[in-house]
Chain A
Amino acid sequence: MSWILIVEQSLNGLQFGLMLFLLAAGLTLVFGIMDMINLAHGSLYMLGAFLAATLVQATGSFAAGVLLAIPATALLGMLLEMSVLRTLYARDHLSQVLATFALILILNEAVRIIWGPDMPLSVPAALSGPVQLLPGMVYPAYRLLIIGVGAAVAGALYLLVARTRIGMLVRAGASNREMALAMGVNIRRLFTLLFGVGAGLCAVAGALLGPLFAVQVGMGENILILAFVVIVIGGIGSIRGALVGSLLVGVVDTIGRAFLPLLFGIFFQPRVASAAGPAIASVLVYLLMAVVLYIKPQGLFPARG
């Protein structure tokens, strides 16, 4: 185990965490303002990736494809909100879980019908090589791009929520919806807009992670659960919580998978270590969530004071 490996894995964790943040940000605001559990958020991530793959193929340029996929996915998200999700705000959580679970089934099949089970999307040729970060340490250029884009989008989102009038309304809605309504905020329109932004962020994450994982039906399902873990850890409705939670989950997950087997190898016999290491590493984030909930049942940064 050398320091190069540690730096490399930390960067991987940072990169994964930032992408998780893009998913969790939309989810936590939807959850916080409308008290709405939206399992179909992962489907928007999938839609974004498929749209990006198609548009990259059509335009022949990675950047153009991804940039076009963002508004397209945002539009689809707003359409979804206006047609189905809007009727669910007043319902209980159970109905929301089931209705959006049904949406996952429907959207998965719709994608399968339109595109088939998967789409090719590869790292653009210009970024496929490694970059020398420090003497003796190289890192894939594409992953650096993800970190850069992720940090920029996260920063822009933070400014949007913390510094603009729209953001002020969003925060007002998240901390007390009835009061915001009473003060004359048009929550309905604000929410459709917010949903569009959330869907656009899903598209960014889906398009950028597509070449690293795979653009396939069902790709949103596992990462969706991680995004829920993030917002529960961070505190539902809190952007700051989502950021801290994302980075925490991203780093813990990546570092755990990389080093826990090695660590176990020091203390246990190789046979035990090779079995137990990966097993413990894969449940680490869920353990983290259980511990956080046990100590702070409202998450780290509760939005409702």
Chain B
Amino acid sequence: MGRAAPWIVLALALTFPLAMQAEHQTYYLSFASRIFIYALAATSLNLILGYGGMISFGHAAFVGTGAYVSSILLSEGVASAWIGWPAAVAASSLAALVIGAVSLRTRGVYFIMITLAFAQMVFFLVNSMKAYGGDEGLSLRERASLGLGVDLGSDFAFYYAALAALAAGLYGLHRLAHSRFGRVIQAIRENEERAEAIGFPVYRCKLVCFVIAGAAGGLAGALLASHGKYVNPNVLHWTQSGTLMMMVIMGGAGRLWGGVIGAAALLGLEDLIANHRVDWLAAIFPNYQQHASLGVGTVLLAIVLFAPQGIAGMLARKKHA
């Protein structure tokens, strides 16, 4: 993307709610907030997966931990987002520190499997928390409150909160990727032995990177719980980790906008199939709209097989050609 593109996107995102409010389309306001939240979660995964080359199959553990910690605080009467969200971030960071410290000692396939196993542990632990809904989940009476005269209960205000979190996440990733630390992380992705031989503390760098990604994932989880005013153990299910990976790869792993593009493309595609009837398609397959994931799966399979660089990669290639 060019130098101006991020600012244009930001300007569009900032004015979008005004246009929607004029049209009384609040559904799309809430939908856009959901995209921002998933984009933040996918961006945090992109940091370890795309930039760090660590194929974590358990990122839902951090999103879910954030979602549950903030929800439990809300249900216990701690309404302030200034307490709930930092607590979610702290808990997810801690989880990432513990999980990362053990998992990062393994390589390749074993790393994929052990991150998956840890995420399953968190999933089952949350499932058995009967006091907080167990497998039925936890409904929240209201969203976290931000104070300062802002009512997050309105979709309008929440949109801007989610946008701010995503913008901060992207800016953070941009700065991180170009920092010394970010260079080391990418060097480790390219050749771990060489980075080790040069004298970088490989294990410690990977662990720090893992914890940062977990923290950002936790924030996304806290936002997600507030957005839907509901959380259930499925935010921790392993297929959720797969979905986040799918977003990163669809968008473009190791590219700044990869997570955003992937989240928008995937959720947009789901919404497009489920809520926008195409008459000639409906004439052939009458119930096709109930089977959105068939379309999503086919698109994903095609991208993995034919465009492994993702959507951002295709856009970049077109520009260079």
Task: List A residues at the B interface (Cβ < 8 Å).
Answer: 31, 37, 39, 84, 87, 91, 93-95, 97-99, 101-106, 108-110, 112-113, 221, 225, 228-229, 232, 236, 275, 278-279, 282-283, 286-287, 289-290, 293-294, 297
- CB pair A109 B112 closer than 8 Å: no
**Does more than half of chain B's interface fall in helix, strand or loop, or is it mixed?**
helix
Name, among A94, A108, A275, the residue most crowded by chain B CB atoms within 10 Å (CB to CB). A94
Asked if B87 is an interface residue, CB under 8 A from chain A, the answer is no
Say which residue of B55, B114, B129, B301 sits within 8 Å of A102 (CB atoms): B301
Q: Which residues of B sit under 8 angstroms from A37, Cβ to Cβ?
A: 109, 112
- CB pair B249 A282 closer than 8 Å: no
Which chain B residue lies CB-closest to A98? Answer: B304
CB-based closest 5 A-B pairs:
A105-B297, A109-B294, A279-B128, A282-B124, A106-B297
Which chain A residue lies CB-closest to B292? Answer: A109
- Whole-angstrom distance between the Cβ of A85 and the nearest chain B Cβ: 11
Binds A, one of B12-20, B115-123, B166-174, B178-186: B115-123
Task: List B residues at the A interface (Cβ < 8 Å).
Answer: 49, 55, 57, 102, 105-106, 108-110, 112-114, 116-118, 120-121, 124-125, 127-131, 238-239, 242, 245-246, 249, 253, 287, 291, 293-294, 296-298, 300-301, 304-305, 308
Q: A99-B301, A293-B114 are in contact. Are A287 and B55 (CB under 8 A)?
A: no
- CB pair B120 A286 closer than 8 Å: yes
Q: Which residues of A sit under 8 angstroms from B108, Cβ to Cβ?
A: 93
- Per the bound structure, the CA–CA distance linking A232 and B114 in Å amounts to 9
Other A-B contacts than A275-B129, A286-B120, 7 sampled, CB-CB below 8 A, are A84-B301, A101-B242, A106-B297, A106-B298, A106-B301, A289-B117, A290-B118
Q: A109-B291, A289-B117 are in contact. Are A99 and B112 (CB under 8 A)?
A: no
Q: Which residues of B sit under 8 angstroms from A113, Cβ to Cβ?
A: 287, 291, 294
Q: A225-B120, A275-B128 are in contact. Are A293 and B106 (CB under 8 A)?
A: yes
- Per the bound structure, the CA–CA distance linking A279 and B242 in Å amounts to 24
- CB pair A93 B109 closer than 8 Å: yes
Q: A105-B297, A289-B117 are in contact. Are A94 and B249 (CB under 8 A)?
A: yes
Which chain A residue lies CB-closest to B250? Answer: A98
